[in-house]
Chain A
């Protein structure tokens, strides 16, 4: 029922970041993101009180999709992170946490927003130059010939992956199968498969993207007048059977149709030992044609021998309660990923993770670089910025139009935000340290009271690259600004302890850093919010 309401005047809020409600919402959002971050991140359950499905997740894409944010200021933030995730799929939580802490830190500084924005732009250019340079201490080049680096990046497999949903089984039942799977009803089960093969023991496959159900031609405009005694359907069926005859003559062993195959045609093909699979769907057409080398036939009148492809084998697979026709090609470049999970929401999460992993691999193929994970890139970058900002010349300050103190304050805020991202990886208590030489991030388990020598306690840094703790000195990562200790430029660890590193996607992380900073600048620059109430 709709009501007529008097038009309320728009709501006008000035200086939104100074309002308590916005600050509290920002803190809450920040806590949600921080507590979901990382491999030890806790799950969140999104629950609608009036029914509907429940979503349990720790991924930014799912969280942001279901969360409804009322404050317009924060909606800018969530929209920006969602756009980033749709582009890069990874580092969504990283962007969100960094953005929130940047806003919190810069808001409390006593520097005008326009100056902050100018300084942060300068800092961002410093960061990006460093990250993209050859001498970057946290960059790892990815060598596609060794699988270890790729496995470090994600846990998916190279090649084109088709994801098939199966619910109700254990997660460990997820498997990878070469080739493609097409879902079919149970009818074909039980009978041994006798499929016609060619001379070289391959199966010829014909792929149809047109409808073979006999109702192909229904003109949109104009009319067709049919004389009494003639049936268009019979005519179409005859055409279809002619097609069937030609397929049999050409030695085709398997016919796959995107749409429906007429039952009479199916019967005829079965009698002639040709397997027919229909309702394959549009999404399988391209992978099928690439895998088998067949060209999808668009009309039943245009059959040519050059359109057929070849397969190595066909079998029937049964997973949980679903039946699939399994097409195995000669070269196993294309494979299918069967994902199983007990509950729908867990399965959704698994599917999203696999899709993200695939996207990360694609991005890495374009730019074969990776960044150290586990919080080490963030702390390394923070110590680099601290070092750089203390050694800038006065001409830089004049160009920017700010004083050195202002620059130091903003740079300190920026570094603290980076470090807070690294700190939020730790969910189990304990301390987080950073070393003074490499700038990496080290976790100390809780329960150890005042230890005199940190190097007795730490074993491996967050990314796993360095384990040598003898000559390093430490500092506890805290939230407050520390005294600017002038130390040298953070170095790259020369000795690699293990080959198993924690790595992050380079493109996604760089893009996330830039988007976080730009969104923070945008939010800090907001001086008025005008909201239409109805």
Chain B
């Protein structure tokens, strides 16, 4: 990516464009304008023969010999450039700095030269054109040059206040190179945009990954079941019979009311054998703990607060993955659970759906600890859409939530928005990673501060042990 974008500070954002070909961020050492297609060569070593080399001693016997050697070097350079010209090579791309004499002859014979290319740029050009660098001094200098790349155009380009080289290559592989020119008022803005675009490309690569039904471990496989429900929401949403009370409190207390309502329901369903009383109390403390944090707090904090109360029950549930060991609700899947290219509209739909189905699962769950933890996770998921709707009008989150839940209840498709899409696979990976992370954090019982940085201990020979 680094070779395929250029940042230009000082121009307005609207000037950002995409240009075909590659932009090299240095100027021509010699520029000879040429129309149409050009033949180009890649070189990695200086074209001018050197008098000596490392480890080689050049012995001068007479002055005439010295003069003749220097003259020979110059003539040989000229002959080489002439040879290039006779093969109609019009562009020389060099990864090292070329001598002035080479530049002079190149200018004389109409060959444009660009020097000091980076190794990544050379590698990119090699890959695009399928051409390897040309070694001028092999056995025979005058042999036919086979490593020629074809460039469709080659011209200088003004980026901001710097002149760059803009070359278009005809690509032999499926990858057609384009260069992204990012403009912005300050460097920082350009860096942010470049990073965001790079991440967008990574996301697109992830988009086409699939998740199969029966993965390696039981836990993994079953966590996907939930995700599959997400995919199949628009095809055949499963039947839900959850009674959601009509909530008419204001936005600040919505979650409280909902939680209370749900916890009331789950209370009646919890068949925990011995800890019913204490568990119910803990349940209420979880709700309040969740509410104590506002929407800006990281999910982990909420779960941590909750987790402290859950210590005892947690020991039985290590790792959290077990809560994903659900039997799964009615499924009508193909062989892959998350198909390649699955997308959902943006705006919190993924979270709402996952929240809804986890809560449904929690109600049907026999083990009370799993149900409790599932509810915590479900409520934590809501923090994302809450943050999204925070900047718009005051109660937009409530409206969105109610609309979505009502549609799910009636098996209707969710009201979508046309603004954008997000990849299901990426979101799935995100949720799994977050749960892993939380699991680890909750399993830590002591943090020890040390003065020295942690060093890696290498294996030593056993003889030192004595």
Please list the residues of chain A having a beta carbon within 8 angstroms of any beta carbon in chain B.
76, 79-80, 82-88, 112, 114, 128, 209-210, 217, 219, 221-227, 230-232, 234-235, 238-239, 295-299, 301-302, 511, 514-515, 518-519, 522
Provide the residues of chain A in CB contact with B53, threshold 8 Å. 221-222
| CB-based contact B57/A301 at 8 Å | no
- The tally of residues in B whose CB lies under 8 Å from a CB in A reads 44
**Contacts A295-B108, A511-B12, A518-B13 known; A87 to B160 CB distance under 8 Å?**
yes
| CB-based contact A302/B78 at 8 Å | yes
Taken together as a complex, chains A and B put the C-alpha atoms of A438 and B182 apart, in Å, by 38
| CB-based contact B52/A296 at 8 Å | no
Please list the residues of chain B having a beta carbon within 8 angstroms of any beta carbon in chain A.
8-14, 50-63, 66-67, 70-71, 74-75, 78, 100-101, 103-105, 107-108, 160-161, 184-189, 391
8 Å CB contact of A83 from B9, B71, B74, B105: B9
For A301, the closest partner residue in chain B by CB is B74
- Chain A nearest CB from B99 CB (Å) reads 8
- Chain A nearest CB from B100 CB (Å) reads 5
8 Å CB contact of B59 from A84, A227, A295: A227
**Contacts A217-B70, A221-B50, A299-B101 known; A238 to B63 CB distance under 8 Å?**
yes
For A223, the closest partner residue in chain B by CB is B57
Provide the residues of chain B in CB contact with A239, threshold 8 Å. 67, 70
Provide the residues of chain A in CB contact with B60, threshold 8 Å. 224-227, 230, 232
- Chain B nearest CB from A502 CB (Å) reads 25
| CB-based contact B54/A221 at 8 Å | yes
For A89, the closest partner residue in chain B by CB is B161
| CB-based contact B100/A235 at 8 Å | no
| CB-based contact B161/A87 at 8 Å | yes
| CB-based contact A217/B51 at 8 Å | yes
| CB-based contact B391/A112 at 8 Å | yes
Provide the residues of chain A in CB contact with B57, threshold 8 Å. 222-225
Taken together as a complex, chains A and B put the C-alpha atoms of A230 and B74 apart, in Å, by 22
Taken together as a complex, chains A and B put the C-alpha atoms of A84 and B55 apart, in Å, by 52
For A80, the closest partner residue in chain B by CB is B185
Provide the residues of chain B in CB contact with A86, threshold 8 Å. 10, 160-161
- Chain B nearest CB from A76 CB (Å) reads 6
8 Å CB contact of A222 from B12, B56, B108: B56
Provide the residues of chain B in CB contact with A84, threshold 8 Å. 10-11, 185
| CB-based contact A83/B186 at 8 Å | yes
Provide the residues of chain B in CB contact with A82, threshold 8 Å. 10
Taken together as a complex, chains A and B put the C-alpha atoms of A86 and B160 apart, in Å, by 8
Provide the residues of chain B in CB contact with A299, threshold 8 Å. 74, 100-101, 104
8 Å CB contact of B104 from A227, A235, A302: A302
| CB-based contact A222/B55 at 8 Å | yes
Taken together as a complex, chains A and B put the C-alpha atoms of A379 and B56 apart, in Å, by 75
Taken together as a complex, chains A and B put the C-alpha atoms of A238 and B66 apart, in Å, by 12
- Give the 6 A-B residue pairs with the shortest CB-CB distance, closest first: A222-B52, A83-B10, A514-B12, A298-B104, A80-B185, A87-B10
| CB-based contact B58/A518 at 8 Å | no
| CB-based contact B14/A514 at 8 Å | yes
Taken together as a complex, chains A and B put the C-alpha atoms of A511 and B57 apart, in Å, by 60
| CB-based contact A210/B100 at 8 Å | yes
8 Å CB contact of A515 from B12, B63, B66: B12
| CB-based contact A221/B13 at 8 Å | no
**Contacts A221-B52, A234-B63 known; A298 to B101 CB distance under 8 Å?**
yes
Taken together as a complex, chains A and B put the C-alpha atoms of A238 and B184 apart, in Å, by 58
8 Å CB contact of B101 from A79, A223, A227, A302: A302
Provide the residues of chain A in CB contact with B50, threshold 8 Å. 219, 221-222
8 Å CB contact of B58 from A224, A230, A296: A224
Provide the residues of chain B in CB contact with A83, threshold 8 Å. 9-10, 160, 185-187
Q: List 17 A-B contacts (CB under 8 A).
A: A80-B185, A83-B10, A86-B161, A87-B8, A88-B10, A222-B50, A225-B57, A225-B60, A226-B60, A227-B59, A230-B62, A298-B101, A301-B74, A302-B75, A515-B10, A518-B185, A522-B186
- Chain B nearest CB from A220 CB (Å) reads 8
Provide the residues of chain A in CB contact with B55, threshold 8 Å. 222
Provide the residues of chain B in CB contact with A232, threshold 8 Å. 60, 63, 66
Provide the residues of chain B in CB contact with A519, threshold 8 Å. 185-186
Taken together as a complex, chains A and B put the C-alpha atoms of A441 and B9 apart, in Å, by 33
Beyond known contacts A219-B50, A522-B189: 14 more, CB 8 A cutoff: A87-B8, A114-B391, A209-B104, A210-B101, A223-B52, A223-B58, A224-B57, A225-B58, A227-B59, A230-B66, A298-B104, A299-B100, A302-B75, A519-B186
- Chain B nearest CB from A206 CB (Å) reads 14
Provide the residues of chain A in CB contact with B101, threshold 8 Å. 210, 298-299, 302
Taken together as a complex, chains A and B put the C-alpha atoms of A79 and B53 apart, in Å, by 48
Provide the residues of chain A in CB contact with B184, threshold 8 Å. 518
8 Å CB contact of A518 from B12, B103, B107, B187: B12
For B78, the closest partner residue in chain A by CB is A302
8 Å CB contact of A295 from B11, B75, B107: B107
Taken together as a complex, chains A and B put the C-alpha atoms of A224 and B59 apart, in Å, by 6
Provide the residues of chain B in CB contact with A234, threshold 8 Å. 63
**Contacts A219-B50, A222-B55, A226-B60 known; A297 to B10 CB distance under 8 Å?**
no
Provide the residues of chain A in CB contact with B100, threshold 8 Å. 209-210, 298-299
Taken together as a complex, chains A and B put the C-alpha atoms of A518 and B391 apart, in Å, by 21
Provide the residues of chain B in CB contact with A219, threshold 8 Å. 50-52, 58
Taken together as a complex, chains A and B put the C-alpha atoms of A299 and B105 apart, in Å, by 10
| CB-based contact B185/A515 at 8 Å | yes
Taken together as a complex, chains A and B put the C-alpha atoms of A217 and B68 apart, in Å, by 13
Taken together as a complex, chains A and B put the C-alpha atoms of A511 and B9 apart, in Å, by 12
Taken together as a complex, chains A and B put the C-alpha atoms of A511 and B52 apart, in Å, by 54
- Chain A nearest CB from B7 CB (Å) reads 11
Taken together as a complex, chains A and B put the C-alpha atoms of A80 and B103 apart, in Å, by 38
For A234, the closest partner residue in chain B by CB is B63
Provide the residues of chain B in CB contact with A80, threshold 8 Å. 10, 185-186
| CB-based contact A79/B11 at 8 Å | no
| CB-based contact B58/A222 at 8 Å | yes
For B108, the closest partner residue in chain A by CB is A295
- Chain B nearest CB from A75 CB (Å) reads 9
For A235, the closest partner residue in chain B by CB is B63
| CB-based contact A224/B51 at 8 Å | yes
Provide the residues of chain A in CB contact with B59, threshold 8 Å. 224-225, 227
